[in-house]
Amino acid sequence: MKKMFLPVMWVGMASWVLAGCTKEPVNHLTEEETRIYITNHDSTVSFSAFHTFSVADSVAVINDNQFVQRDQNAFDQAFLAALKTQLQARGFTLVDKTAKPDLGINVSRLYNNYTGLVSYTDYYGDYYGYWDPYYWGYPGYSYYFPTYYGVYNITQGGLSVDMFDLKDASGTNQLKYVWNGLVRGEGLFNPANASQEAQALLSQSAYLKTN
């Protein structure tokens, strides 16, 4: 029995140490690296046909697919300004919405809420080894938890930029989508990141230019 103890202990220790050494990808990302940028466009559209654009002066806030309000916080202002700068750098001319722009752009902040349930009995099972009953002066005791549950709520955000063809709208009675950009990840709505996010979306859309 004594001979069995040491090998079993070694196996247990090796499993615990090495399984714990799994390199968890999320723990090895900087805030910038957590973000992803997704763009789509209508491949039948030639963007050289458009010359002017206008951007909505505020951002739509959408929570669980429900419109909440239009807003213009520090991030919104920084992002809208950066977006205009990026499009102008690609040859488009910024005009007022009353000047019949060729392209119209909406920016939205999207929030999705997820609710989950955690069992404290399972939680206790996972973290058993972290608590030391000796600390409270009760050596040999074990912790007891009744079965009860806790609710947690996670909110995930996204930034969406949608570009529509206004030039040809009158003939079709439709505001046709021509380009969309989506950003997700950490630090998404930090005003300090707004310029970098606008640049990233446009730089991966090389076709988005006037010539």
Partner 1 sequence: MRKRFVFRSLSRAAHPVLLTVLAALAGLAGNAQQGLLRLNLDYAVALPAGAFRDVVSHGSFRGFDASLMYGLNDRVSIGFNTGFQDFYQKYPRQVYTTSDGSDISAVVTNSVQVVPLMAKVQYRLGSSRVWQPYAGLAAGGYSVLYRQYLGEFAGSNNRFRFGFRPELGIYIPFSGQGESGLTISGVYNYLPFHSAGISSMNSFGIRLGASFPIRE
b/e per residue 147-165 (b: at least 16 CB within 10 A): eeeeeeeeeeebbbbbbbb
| Nearest partner of 190 among 31, 28, 83, 65, judged by Cα | 31
37 is a contact residue toward partner 1 (CB under 8 A): yes
Q: How far is the CB of 209 from partner 1 (least distance, A)?
A: 15
Task: Decide if residue 193 touches partner 1 (CB under 8 A).
Answer: no
Asked if 137 touches partner 1 (CB under 8 A), the answer is no
Structural element, H or E, at residue 186: none
In this structure, what is the dihedral angle of CA atoms 95, 99, 100, 103, given to the nearest 10 degrees? 10
Q: Which stretch binds partner 1 (CB under 8 A): 1-9, 55-63, 69-77, 97-105?
A: 1-9
Q: Does 40 bind partner 1 (CB under 8 A)?
A: yes
Q: Does 26 bind partner 1 (CB under 8 A)?
A: yes
Query: Per rule CB under 8 A, is residue 28 in the interface with partner 1?
Result: yes
Question: Which residues touch 67 (CB under 8 Å, ≥6 apart)?
Answer: 60, 61
Residue matched to tokens 């050494």: 21
The answer to whether residue 19 forms part of the interface with partner 1 (CB under 8 A) is yes
Least Cβ distance, residue 22 to partner 1 (angstroms): 5
Provide the β-strand partners of residue 59: 71
Report the residue number, 6 or 151, with the smaller CB distance to partner 1.
Answer: 6
User: Residue 7 or residue 140: which is nearer to partner 1 going by CB?
Assistant: 7
Q: Work out whether strand 59-63 and strand 66-71 pair parallel, antiparallel, or are unpaired.
A: antiparallel
Which residues lie near partner 1 (CB under 8 A)?
A: 3-4, 7, 10-11, 14-15, 18-19, 21-26, 28-29, 33-41, 43, 184-186, 200, 204-205
